[in-house]
Homo-oligomer: A and B are copies of this chain.
Amino acid sequence: MAGDGSDQRALQYEQTLMYGRYTQELGVYAKEEAARLRESGQRRSVSDRSRTLDLLEYDKGRCAKCRICTVRCQKFLISRVGEDWIFLILLGLLMALVSWVVDFCIAICLQAQKWMYGGLDSNVFLQYLAWVTYPVVLITFSAGFTQILAPQAVGSGIPEMKTILRGVVLKEYLTFKTFVAKVIGLTCALGSGMPLGKEGPFVHIASLCAALLSKFMSLFGGIYENESRNIEMLAAACAVGVGCCFAAPIGGVLFSIEVTSTFFAVRNYWRGFFAATFSAFIFRVLAVWNRDEETITALFKTRFRLDFPFDLQELPAFAVIGIASGFGGALFVYLNRLIVQFIRKQKAINRFLMKKRLLYPALVTLLVSTLTFPPGFGQFMAGKLTQKESLVTLLDNRTWAKQGIAEEFDYIGHSQAWKHPQVNVFVTLVLFIVMKFWMSALATTIPVPCGAFMPVFVIGAAFGRLVGESMAAWFPDGIHTDGTIYPIVPGGYAVVGAAALSGAVTHTVSTAVIVFELTGQISHILPVMIAVILANAVAQSLQPSLYDSIIRIKKLPYLPELGWGHHEKYNIRVEDIMVRDVRYITLNCCYRDLHNVLLTGHLKTLALVESAESMILLGSIERAQLQSLLSQQLGRPRRLEYIRERAVAEKKRMSVLSNPGSDDGSQRVSQEVRFQISTEESTFSPVRPVAPKPLKPALKRPSVVERPTEIPTSPQDNSGIALKNLFCASPETEGLEDDGDVEDDMTIREISEWEEMQLDEQVNFNNCKIDPAPFQLVERTSLHKTHTIFSLLGLDHAYVTSIGRLIGVVSLKELRKAIEGSVTVKGVKVRPPLASFRDSGTSSSENEATELHKLWDRHKSMSLPREHTPSESDEKSQ
């Protein structure tokens, strides 16, 4: 089933080339799937428990005490295993190992490329071939591998995690296949030396780990089946992902909170810290054990002087870095989206790439690696250096441009790559920044598992370095005037730039903390904070964050944030945005209404009201429940039972009316009885053949019917005509197996008549699961509050009631529209249509005295726009 779905999706090249397009149905389907799994899991645990009880019962005669003791011990052990901290330690350990192994493999891949390149230094053409072919092969392999195994592994994964933590179940994102595809794909992609990052995918990998570990642990205990706990664990896993990627536990926790959560429960805080610290610790200990490091230190250790890190008068320069980074970050997000949209829109390119789906990654890789070829253009932009090496050199605490004459400086180690005999170090830096900027924006659109954080971080560092070197050239003896000479430290500027640009792209301030943890120095805290905040202020007012941008491109079901202090949010009310035309069913409705409602709408849940007149909201029912109610009413078992009963009644009548003993005439007489009954019921509405409608694909899936509910019906039983209209699934498999004792001798026409009869019966909701307290809002709830409640509780819809009466519904879609309508991408604020109307009105508090008299005479017919549903939708469906 899932394989089928993923194969289907795998066929759509566009999805996987660029960020795939996911319709609402997909998420809904995934959620239903998850609900089904959860339900069956619950049932399993219940049966497990009863089995244990049976066991106790059985052994009572023999050594009951001993058995009970064993069971208790087992339970104790299980409860220990169920403790959060054991889970978190395992998760941390696992992720540290994964991170280290991935890093190790990447390092080997990069070394291999360097070795090939170095070995072929006799022939430039061969050198070029080796330099270019190697990444092309790796990237193509990575793209193909993820494409085949799990297309969900493509991209960063943070947008998806954001959506999942919002409460939307994207189940296919947390499978073992995705894990394998992501890890291997990421290793190959980063091993190619392309400007790609590790952070985003690691957030996804950690979440995958947590989900799989949770599934594994649930073999031992029951606690792992709790959904809210799983969400908590996923949130911790995101922190672990960043933490073990950068060995930055604090920054990891904060970054993951900022990037994935809307609201954060402080009581989950320790989980993230605990797991991320443990993970970062193990990650660094592995490096020590591998003799890479002498002891546990920062990943990109800097050695700036501590006594005088910067002068007060340098702060304007830092502020400039911040503001420029803000613009740069917004530009990056814009460029990235532009590339995706350009390739999507160009029909010709698209069609061509559709056919050869690995061509796009190969072409992009070829372009990028050609430009970085060290003997070619690469010499002007330190193309020889890997991402890690560039960063190390950029954070160097020595000044490259002493007194403006770059040549005098003796470059040691990798720093030499920045030196070019003909070209100034400033030119190199500028070229590096410009080239890497568009390269990174382009490379992150390749359909391989990759993030954009690290490339952006390096570009930011280079930009900071550029400013720092300029400052150092401008003030060779530092700015400080009090006698002591404190030369300017360009490395500090690089740190500030890195934090600012990555903060601007991701819309986070915690990049500041990550920078401190990465460099192991916190001396530049104030400049970094100032620059990051300024960069955020600029970037947030221009563009959404990179992750939000991807969410929009992918059309993931996510609620956008309210922007920076948009006051008008307090003025929009739910009544301005709600949908007044609610689909509902009444307590005394008949199956026909149910049928019609199911046919016309495609909402996941339906409101249950007392009656169409009172509209008092009693609860909400899941669509699937209604479907099973309907299939139970119209299903084959019930029809067979009807035939059986009819036969018995006929027999009785026969025995009373004529000579008793003629059992064989039942078949002939039954038709009379049927007609008799159908004429009895002919006072009902005339039979209306229901026209088949184009239904939503989610409905077409047999799984909807297969869903295990309390009613034991198999899909083959749903062979009724009305149901066929509803489900459109395998109509030819009708009535192949009989009960044996009763023959299904009804003709199609008879069945249709019987069904019409059944449809007119009143629905019996007794066995139906009803959510008795669906979330309710009031008309005057502000948009701000609605947004808060939706994001806090992970709702996807809420009913709007007025003193218990249902008057509307608000779903994520309306909310999203309302928010995006007032805050467009360009930062121009458009007021919602109704808010201004209200403002100019006399006063709002007068209306707040709720008009209860409406309720007083609620048995009169109401002038609500919701009266027509049963009749109108009937007509529509014809």
What CA separation (Å) do A804 and B618 show in the bound complex?
5
Q: Is A57 an interface residue (CB 8 A)?
A: no
Q: Is A82 an interface residue (CB 8 A)?
A: yes
Q: Is A573 an interface residue (CB 8 A)?
A: no
Contact across chains for B565 and A297 when beta carbons are under 8 A apart: no
- Give 1 or 0 for each of A510-552: 1 = CB within 8 Å of chain B CB: 0011001100111101100110010011000000000000000
What CA separation (Å) do A849 and B766 show in the bound complex?
8
What CA separation (Å) do A663 and B625 show in the bound complex?
75
Complex interface residues of chain A between 281 and 299 (CB less than 8 A to chain B): 281, 284-285, 288, 294-298
Contact across chains for B277 and A530 when beta carbons are under 8 A apart: yes
Contact across chains for B261 and A43 when beta carbons are under 8 A apart: no
Given contacts A294-B482, A516-B516, A793-B789, contact A270 B509 (CB under 8 A): yes
- Name the residue of chain B whose CB is nearest to the CB of A261: B266
What CA separation (Å) do A386 and B220 show in the bound complex?
56
Contact across chains for B565 and A306 when beta carbons are under 8 A apart: no
Contact across chains for A853 and B766 when beta carbons are under 8 A apart: yes
Pick from B273, B482, B616: contact of A529, CB below 8 A. Answer: B273
Contact across chains for B250 and A525 when beta carbons are under 8 A apart: yes
What CA separation (Å) do A844 and B47 show in the bound complex?
11
Given contacts A264-B264, A270-B509, A522-B520, contact A42 B845 (CB under 8 A): yes
A513 proximity list for chain B (CB < 8 A): 250, 513
Q: How many copies does the complex hold?
A: 2
- Name the residue of chain B whose CB is nearest to the CB of A280: B526
- Give 1 or 0 for each of A819-860: 1 = CB within 8 Å of chain B CB: 000000000000000000000001111001111110110000
A843 proximity list for chain B (CB < 8 A): 46, 49-50
A521 proximity list for chain B (CB < 8 A): 306, 521-522
Contact across chains for B785 and A801 when beta carbons are under 8 A apart: no
- Give 1 or 0 for each of A192-233: 1 = CB within 8 Å of chain B CB: 000000000000000000000000000000010010110000
Pick from B294, B533, B766, B784: contact of A274, CB below 8 A. Answer: B533
Complex interface residues of chain A between 213 and 268 (CB less than 8 A to chain B): 223, 226, 228-229, 249-250, 254, 257-258, 261-267
Tell me how far the C-beta of A422 lies from the nearest C-beta in chain B, rounded to whole angstroms. 37
Interface centre among A802, A852, A856 (most CB of B within 10 A): A852
Q: Is A10 an interface residue (CB 8 A)?
A: no
Q: Is A641 an interface residue (CB 8 A)?
A: no
Contact across chains for A804 and B804 when beta carbons are under 8 A apart: yes
Q: Is A640 an interface residue (CB 8 A)?
A: no
Contact across chains for B802 and A772 when beta carbons are under 8 A apart: yes
* Interface band, chain A: 35 or more
Contact across chains for A848 and B616 when beta carbons are under 8 A apart: no
Contact across chains for A525 and B517 when beta carbons are under 8 A apart: yes
Q: Is A11 an interface residue (CB 8 A)?
A: no
Complex interface residues of chain A between 765 and 792 (CB less than 8 A to chain B): 765-773, 776-778, 784-785, 788-789, 792
Given contacts A309-B295, A855-B587, contact A262 B266 (CB under 8 A): yes
Contact across chains for A309 and B297 when beta carbons are under 8 A apart: yes
Given contacts A249-B525, A258-B269, contact A312 B285 (CB under 8 A): yes
Tell me how far the C-beta of A227 lies from the nearest C-beta in chain B, rounded to whole angstroms. 10
What CA separation (Å) do A307 and B281 show in the bound complex?
18
Q: Is A12 an interface residue (CB 8 A)?
A: no
Q: Is A344 an interface residue (CB 8 A)?
A: no
Tell me how far the C-beta of A367 lies from the nearest C-beta in chain B, rounded to whole angstroms. 38
What CA separation (Å) do A657 and B308 show in the bound complex?
106
- Name the residue of chain B whose CB is nearest to the CB of A780: B772
Q: Is A739 an interface residue (CB 8 A)?
A: no
Q: Is A79 an interface residue (CB 8 A)?
A: yes
What CA separation (Å) do A250 and B255 show in the bound complex?
13
A72 proximity list for chain B (CB < 8 A): none
What CA separation (Å) do A708 and B312 show in the bound complex?
55
Given contacts A295-B311, A855-B618, contact A277 B526 (CB under 8 A): yes
Tell me how far the C-beta of A234 lies from the nearest C-beta in chain B, rounded to whole angstroms. 15
What CA separation (Å) do A315 and B587 show in the bound complex?
66
Interface centre among A769, A776, A803, A853 (most CB of B within 10 A): A803
Q: Is A570 an interface residue (CB 8 A)?
A: yes
Q: Is A29 an interface residue (CB 8 A)?
A: no
Contact across chains for A526 and B619 when beta carbons are under 8 A apart: no
Contact across chains for B804 and A772 when beta carbons are under 8 A apart: yes
Contact across chains for B616 and A616 when beta carbons are under 8 A apart: yes
Q: Is A83 an interface residue (CB 8 A)?
A: yes
Pick from B306, B766, B769: contact of A303, CB below 8 A. Answer: B306
- Name the residue of chain B whose CB is nearest to the CB of A532: B273
A270 proximity list for chain B (CB < 8 A): 509, 533, 536, 564
A482 proximity list for chain B (CB < 8 A): 294
Complex interface residues of chain A between 304 and 323 (CB less than 8 A to chain B): 306-312
A274 proximity list for chain B (CB < 8 A): 533
- Name the residue of chain B whose CB is nearest to the CB of A536: B270
Complex interface residues of chain A between 574 and 618 (CB less than 8 A to chain B): 587, 610, 616-618
Q: Is A690 an interface residue (CB 8 A)?
A: no
Contact across chains for B850 and A226 when beta carbons are under 8 A apart: no
Tell me how far the C-beta of A823 lies from the nearest C-beta in chain B, rounded to whole angstroms. 13
Q: List 8 A-B contacts (CB under 8 A).
A: A264-B266, A267-B561, A267-B562, A284-B526, A521-B521, A766-B849, A766-B851, A770-B852
Knowing that A50-B842, A288-B312, A770-B850 touch, tell me 15 more A-B residue pairs with CB under 8 angstroms: A49-B843, A85-B565, A228-B785, A249-B529, A267-B561, A269-B509, A294-B480, A297-B307, A517-B525, A587-B855, A617-B804, A618-B803, A772-B801, A772-B804, A773-B801
Identify the 5 closest CB pairs spanning chains A and B, nearest first: A84-B565, A277-B529, A772-B803, A46-B843, A522-B522
